[in-house]
Chains A and B, each alone.
Chain A
Amino acid sequence: MNLEGFLAQLLAVAAALAGAPLLSGWVNQCRAWLQNRRAPPITMPFRTLHKLFWKESVIAHDASPIFRVTPYIVFGCMLLACLIIPTLSTNLPLAPAADAIALVGLFGVARLFISLAAMDIGTSFGTLGARREMLVGFLAEPAFLMVVFTASLISSSTSLATTVSTLGHREFAILPSLAFAGLAFTMVSLAENARVPVDNPATHLELTMIHEALILEYSGRHLALIEWAASLKLFAYSCAGFAIFFPWGIAEASDSVAFLWALPALAAKLAVGGFALALIETILAKMRIFRVPEFLATAFLLGVLAILVHLLLGA
């Protein structure tokens, strides 16, 4: 591990930890503007985190150790996910540790633990939320895998760093398979990050919530960690999407000039992506929970079509 790679990795951690709440704040701000409301400042998530970290953490009497360790596990999983996705540079010492399939597994571990913790207390809301989370998760995971496989087939590697350098350097070609995979990926990320067509992140309305129902019992620093992990997840998904579909601007190994440009490029891409997310959330209505399997089946179908089109047409 050389010094340059170490620096790049360190900068990626800092960018993820600071950028993720900013991204959430930016999405909230855009949504407020689009809905003609006065927007909260972009640093609002930081203030919430600060407030929560200084508050007392209340834990139910019959909570098992799973309930206590879950926030740390979830936060750790999301942070690790942000580390293995090439956000700023492909020269990441940690990147060989896990490929894109392991990334899907990381998200799966986090989902498993947060669902276990939600059922641990024994409230009905927690159980309901856990079931819904698993319903969304088990349908979203294969669709996400199909997207990953498409990118892997095109770049003939499951390592995200290799994918980025291959896709970033290919000559211009119209690839319908990547377009299909991009659509599938957008749908999966909306579902996985509890965004509007599937779940509403801004509501505590009992009957419709998924993500909020899971974390109802958490308070204080535990809640802060989970909220931070949720924004890290959004950040990780956005960066994975950029890495596969818009790999331009991510620095190559041993290219320090490009590395200086990587941070502004990432910020610009996140700003555009966040605005698009807010736009999607404003123009779409939340769908019934029983329509979610159809939504995710469509995403899976698009992913499979992407693979088929690539294998059969070579495009």
Chain B
Amino acid sequence: MSPLTGQILNLFASVLLLIAFAMLAQRRIVTLINLFAIQGLALVGSTVTVAWATGQRHLYYSAGITLVLKVVILPFILHRLIRRLNVKWDIETLINIPTMMLVGIVLVVFAFNLALPISQFSQSIARGTLGIALACVLMSFLMMITRSKAVPQVIGFLAMENGLFFAATSATYGMPMVVELGIALDVLVGMIILGVFMFQIREQFDSLDIHHLEKLKED
């Protein structure tokens, strides 16, 4: 591997980390979806770099699937969804962004320490970036925990899948093709089902705030 390949991989990994933080702090739903698309693009870039550096053919296919699914189709569905739900310009009130950023930094340090022993056993060229992949997953968790509206939670879920995909490429040159196709289909179908859910939630409560779901208990 030439040093330039490693540097490009590190660059894409850093961009992914930056976008994970940006998503954590973003108030507007439209921007959140665009950030998700950019994250997918960075993922495609890193996967293609790994594929080119190692000559693994199947990684090109998974990069192609990622490009079609996460950069084109899912953002398109999400954009249509928020237009039809009429929440396009919604601004979510987030509590205390600086604190969340600090929690995010702690998560990054934690993820790196967690990934260090694992990545030492890995043979992959991108093993150094495993920590960043884990950090992305953990930060998507944090985003799902702190958001109260349904659409940002779904985006957090999708971003978590991005992080897992990145972890797979950085630890072991990606998952087998069958698994990858299965996950891709899962995400697509899950997205459609969650979209239907959102319409149902709104019809029931006139709002997409999932705190209303707590009232579903029978007395």
A298 near B25 (CB under 8 angstroms)? yes
Interface footprint category on B: 20 to 34
Residues on the B chain within 8 Å of A174, using CB: 4, 7-8, 10-11
B105 near A313 (CB under 8 angstroms)? no
Known interface pairs A177-B14, A313-B132; 7 further A-B residue pairs with C-beta atoms within 8 A, sorted by A's residue number: A173-B7, A174-B4, A175-B7, A297-B97, A308-B112, A313-B129, A315-B10
The yes or no answer to A98 lying at the interface (CB within 8 A) is no
The yes or no answer to B67 lying at the interface (CB within 8 A) is no
The yes or no answer to A293 lying at the interface (CB within 8 A) is yes
Interface residues of A (CB under 8 A from B): 173-177, 179-180, 293-294, 297-298, 300-302, 304-305, 308-309, 312-315
Residues on the A chain within 8 Å of B14, using CB: 176-177, 179-180, 305, 309, 313, 315
Residue from B10, B98, B132 in contact with A297 in the complex, judged by beta carbons closer than 8 Å: B98
Residues on the B chain within 8 Å of A180, using CB: 14, 18
Residues on the B chain within 8 Å of A315, using CB: 7, 10-11, 14
Question: Which residue, B8, B14, B21, has most C-beta atoms of chain A within 10 A?
Answer: B14
The yes or no answer to B196 lying at the interface (CB within 8 A) is no
Q: Which label, helix, strand, loop or mixed, suits the secondary structure of the B interface?
A: helix
B21 near A305 (CB under 8 angstroms)? yes
Residues on the A chain within 8 Å of B21, using CB: 301, 305
Residues on the A chain within 8 Å of B155, using CB: none
B3 near A309 (CB under 8 angstroms)? no
CA–CA, A161 to B21, complex, Å? 33
CA–CA, A312 to B13, complex, Å? 12
A294 near B18 (CB under 8 angstroms)? no
B97 near A312 (CB under 8 angstroms)? no
A-B contact count (CB 8 A): 61
The yes or no answer to B75 lying at the interface (CB within 8 A) is no
Question: Which residue, A176, A305, A312, A314, has most C-beta atoms of chain B within 10 A?
Answer: A312
A305 near B11 (CB under 8 angstroms)? no
Residues on the A chain within 8 Å of B18, using CB: 180, 302, 305
Residues on the B chain within 8 Å of A176, using CB: 10-11, 13-15
The yes or no answer to B131 lying at the interface (CB within 8 A) is yes
B101 near A298 (CB under 8 angstroms)? yes
CA–CA, A312 to B111, complex, Å? 11
B17 near A309 (CB under 8 angstroms)? yes
Q: Give the nearest-CB partner of A302 in chain B.
A: B18
Q: Give the nearest-CB partner of B129 in chain A.
A: A313
Given the interface pairs A174-B11, A176-B10, A294-B98, the reply to whether A301 lies near B105 with Cβ below 8 Å is yes
CA–CA, A179 to B132, complex, Å? 17
CB distance from B60 to the nearest CB of A (A): 23
Residues on the A chain within 8 Å of B11, using CB: 174, 176, 315
The 10 closest A-B pairs by CB, nearest first: A176-B14, A297-B98, A315-B10, A174-B7, A301-B101, A313-B10, A176-B11, A312-B112, A309-B14, A174-B11
Residues on the B chain within 8 Å of A294, using CB: 25, 97-98
CA–CA, A312 to B115, complex, Å? 11
Q: Which of B109-126 contact A (CB under 8 A)?
A: 109, 112
Residues on the B chain within 8 Å of A175, using CB: 7
29 chain-A/chain-B pairs, Cβ below 8 angstroms? A173-B7, A174-B7, A174-B8, A174-B10, A175-B7, A176-B14, A176-B15, A179-B14, A180-B18, A293-B98, A294-B25, A298-B101, A301-B105, A304-B105, A305-B14, A305-B18, A305-B21, A305-B108, A308-B105, A308-B109, A308-B112, A309-B14, A309-B17, A312-B112, A312-B131, A313-B10, A313-B13, A313-B14, A315-B11
